[in-house]
Amino acid sequence: MSKSNLSSRNERNNTKNIYLDYASGVSANPSSIHKEGMKAKIELQNARKEVATILNSQKEEIIFTSGGTESNNIAIQGLVLALQEKKLEKIFNKKLPHIITTNIEHPSVLETCKILQKRKLAEISIVSVEKNGIINPKKIRKEIKENTVLVSVMYANNEIGVIQPIREIAKMIRRYKKNKKNKNQISSKISLPFFHTDAMQAVNYLNLNVEKLGVDLLSLSGSKIERAGRVGVLFKKKSAPLATIFGGGNQEFGLRPGTENLPEILKFSHALKLAQKNKEKEKIRLKKLQDYFIKKLLKLNSNFNDNTKKKTIAKNLVNHKMILNGDLKDRLPNNINVTFPKIPSDLLVIELSTKGIMVSSKSACKSSEKESSYVIRAINPKSDSEIGGLRFSFGSQTTKSDIDYTIKILNKVLIKLKKWYNDA
Amino acid sequence: MSKSNLSSRNERNNTKNIYLDYASGVSANPSSIHKEGMKAKIELQNARKEVATILNSQKEEIIFTSGGTESNNIAIQGLVLALQEKKLEKIFNKKLPHIITTNIEHPSVLETCKILQKRKLAEISIVSVEKNGIINPKKIRKEIKENTVLVSVMYANNEIGVIQPIREIAKMIRRYKKNKKNKNQISSKISLPFFHTDAMQAVNYLNLNVEKLGVDLLSLSGSKIERAGRVGVLFKKKSAPLATIFGGGNQEFGLRPGTENLPEILKFSHALKLAQKNKEKEKIRLKKLQDYFIKKLLKLNSNFNDNTKKKTIAKNLVNHKMILNGDLKDRLPNNINVTFPKIPSDLLVIELSTKGIMVSSKSACKSSEKESSYVIRAINPKSDSEIGGLRFSFGSQTTKSDIDYTIKILNKVLIKLKKWYNDA
């Protein structure tokens, strides 16, 4: 709803349209009770309904946020605060609420848990993923105790693209709850623990049906969906109690105060619909590109390890095989993550960038830190702390010729960088 | 930076431009270390510099947020958490950090303070404004004590448009600090209390020079600036300690994790510059409209109170004079707030809306609540809890003919509603 729309004369109804509510917002505020506000409110409700349909949830279970980081914070901090308000610590024998998560979660989950621990609001257990990057649900099961309030496991990893067994974890949690109920260990109506998944990277390629997934909380971010606005979504099952972490108005069921970012929310709901509609087709297309890229990478690696071609390449690299990071089967179709031992990934990112190829070495949210990716170190504890991994992530515009060019340039860059690994 | 830009061939340099960093963001992420990320980072830095210039601050003192509500939350919650981390409670003899604010602040300040109080993280004093809506700095001075960490007073009120004496309050705080220092009451390097102002409504018409204002923290919202994006700003003086209230990445000096909303931030900085550039001219233009509107309103009211015209109007209204809410001198040029006794403002909003005139009765952030404006009740404790005030707020598109039409319709609506005040 642009300002010019608001101020224009409505000729059909022969009535003027005069906007004298600039203090509410320079464009109509969905919380305003006048006509333009109501129109905005209806648009907001329709967007909420659309997202709810895609997630197979009720519309009251969809909360629009400012982005993925905020969705994760509202989910995790909000749950802990809500349980505190319900004075559940009495049930826990004065123990703090306990959260279980993994060692390769996004910083917006991992750091949020750590902040709660630091502020003595929660106790956390960080479960390690396997060497292929996948979490073993049994390891999570072992950590669950009476005061466990939340299990938070991402749907797909942002760096190495592995897909976590969300349904299996959900099933395990349901089994635990059932057994616990029989033993009458909890008197409260709230059945613990709740299950949260950060689905930011999964959004374009995986099923988001929250019923089938079996999650209580699910986070999405517009910045990972093409043509979506810069907003986020938190799905919150009705039974999951959340307290507000912000002070302010009553927007978004009181959980996300502040004028709703309607223009971006509308873009988000349309883009999410489109992404989910195209996901099967796009998955097949990208899987082919992924397979092709991996084949080319392996060939490139074998060339480097071929003695007859030794002249053109660095001698040390021969003994340091390229590593493909993360499970090759259970992974997103748009992600390839590779480590070239002895070559810092940051250096590769910069070299490729000068040739016009934009890739990354770790979560952008961690890019200002000197250390290499904590995700790569989690799956390969012996890896050099400076090396990390090189992530190629595809989207709708990625073509086979992009990959051919990338492999060609990567080859040149590796040869150019031989000084690095020869001296190493 | 659109996706299509990123994928296009750069013919000039004869190099391709291939974006394989979709997982960082579907458009370039300012935290990415590749070329497109660096470009985005420079754009972000330029926007930060532009805002810093307008506010006369250092660029490291500008934090981009998702909006005004978040800016206020980061300022208030962030300060309290930072002081807790610094274990200042020892200095306070185990007293909680104390916050002073007023009874007509925006919900994002008032509710945030109340949440901190409820969670036993802070103690708050809410000082009442005078009948004209203006706060008396002496009343604030009286509330300051050794453990006072923050004074938060809005620059201009969102409902009744009154402008608070920010410089005077800042001066009073500086005097207090100076005296306190001489007495060596505080051993810490941190000089308490800090001074925060919510400048959302002031942004288009008042001076935002933080040095001249003498504030340590200042909040802005894009939703109140024409053509600005849906982001916010928090100015945070270097000496003011803030702890992060979110877990996540290192963006915005660690105070606002999450991918920066670059497209909206760029819009914000341009729009802020334009609004501040035009403010003197626009202030004069709107002040004329405001005076004209008030004159017309008073005439309309006197007609209703004119015995010779009694036939056309309701008899009871004659005895209930219209009230212009808020000081008439120290107020924003774009705001008029009026109470018609016995007539609920919500009803007037809806009636005017059906005639194409969009106005409001209270903060949109409080619109879902049944009670009338707490701001109107604050300045007129005897006012009927259902009546509230009717706010007309102007913007760049508002013209004299809009006001003529509005007065004409308001007159009709008041006559139509006579049943209300006759029965009341």
Q: What is the tens place of the pLDDT at every residue in B71-97?
A: 999 999 999 999 888 776 566 777 899
Q: How many CB atoms lie within 10 A of CB A311?
A: 6
Selected catalytic residue, list B365, B407, B409, B424: B365
| CB burial string B106-127: b at 16+ within 10 A, e below | bbbbbbbbbbbeeeebbbbbbb
* Chain A residues 15-44 with CB within 8 Å of chain B: 15-26, 28-29, 31-37
Residues of A in contact with B17 (CB under 8 A): 356, 358
Look at the alpha carbons of A23, A29, A31, A35 in this order and tell me if their dihedral is positive or negative: positive
- Give residue B189's identity as a one-letter amino acid code: K
Encode pLDDT of B24-48 as tens digits. 999 889 989 999 999 999 999 999 9
Average pLDDT of span B220-227: 96
pLDDT at B264 over 60: yes
Per-block mean pLDDT, blocks of 10 residues, chain A (424 long): 44 72 92 93 97 98 97 98 78 85 97 95 97 97 95 98 98 93 57 96 98 98 94 97 94 94 96 97 98 93 62 46 92 96 89 96 70 89 80 97 96 82 56
A149 phi and psi angles, rounded to 5 deg: -105, -25
Percent of chain A past pLDDT 70, that is, above it, reads 86
Q: Is the entire prediction scored with pTM above 0.80?
A: yes
Contact assignment for B247 to A108 by CB distance below 8 Å: yes
Identity of the residue in A6, A34, A245 whose CB atom sits nearest the CB atom of B349: A34
> The tokens 């550039």 sit on which residue?
B277
Strand partners, A392: A336
CA angle B360, B361, B365 (to 5 degrees): 85
Average pLDDT of span B215-240: 96
* d(CA A108, nearest CA chain B) in Å: 4
* d(CA B26, nearest CA chain A) in Å: 6
Contact assignment for A22 to B393 by CB distance below 8 Å: yes
Least confident stretch, A246-255, A400-409, B279-288, B303-312: B303-312
* d(CA A184, nearest CA chain B) in Å: 31
Least confident stretch, A382-386, B16-20, B408-412: A382-386
Determine the length of chain A: 424
* Chain A residues 222-251 with CB within 8 Å of chain B: 223-228, 230, 244-251
Look at the alpha carbons of B217, B221, B224, B228 in this order and tell me if their dihedral is positive or negative: positive
Integer Cα distance of A254 and A81 in angstroms: 14
Q: What is the pLDDT of residue B11?
A: 42
Strand partners, B234: B63, B219
Integer Cα distance of B344 and B352 in angstroms: 13
Assess whether the previous peptide bond of B193 is cis (omega < 30° from 0). yes
Determine the length of chain B: 424
B222 phi and psi angles, rounded to 5 deg: -65, -25
Residue B14 backbone zone (phi > 0: left; psi -120 to 50: alpha; other: beta): left
Q: What is the pLDDT of residue B236?
A: 98
Contact assignment for B250 to A398 by CB distance below 8 Å: no
H or E element in which residue B116 lies: helix B107-118
Integer Cα distance of B174 and A211 in angstroms: 58
Encode pLDDT of B205-219 as tens digits. 999 999 999 999 999
pLDDT at B278 over 80: yes
User: Torsion over CA of A267, A272, A273 and A277, rounded to 10 degrees?
Assistant: 140
CA A43 to chain centre: 26
